[in-house]
């Protein structure tokens, strides 16, 4: 994950380093993803990985629907 101050800054970085543009997240989306993904305690005996469907629901709920986020 790279942090940029604006969409223009991200585009300039991609051009300068000859890298494809990825998906841009707002601070709120990044925070929501972190909470949804890491809030469960993996040390708990009942913990299990999220299914593809559950992960896709998390992404969709945060508005992350572009091809980059398709599993």
Is the pLDDT reported for residue 1 higher than 90?
Answer: no
Average the pLDDT over 45-71 and give the result: 93
Look at residue 35 and tell me whether its pLDDT is greater than 90: yes
> What is the pLDDT, as a whole number, of residue 68?
87
Q: Which long-range contacts (CB under 8 A, 24 or more apart) does 62-70 make?
A: 62/29, 62/32, 62/33, 62/36, 63/29, 64/23, 64/25, 64/29, 64/33, 66/23, 68/22, 68/23, 69/23
Q: Domain-by-domain residue ranges, the chain?
A: 26-71
pLDDT in tens, 49-61: 999 999 999 999 9
pTM for the full predicted model: 0.79
Average pLDDT estimate for 4-32: 94
């Amino acid at each position: 994950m790279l942090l940029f101050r604006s969409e223009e800054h991200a585009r300039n970085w991609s051009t300068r380093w000859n890298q494809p543009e990825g998906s841009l997240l707002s601070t709120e989306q990044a925070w929501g993803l972190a909470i949804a993904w890491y809030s469960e305690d993996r040390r708990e005996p009942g913990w299990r990985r999220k299914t593809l469907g559950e992960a896709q629901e998390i992404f969709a709920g945060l508005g992350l629907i572009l091809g980059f986020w398709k599993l």
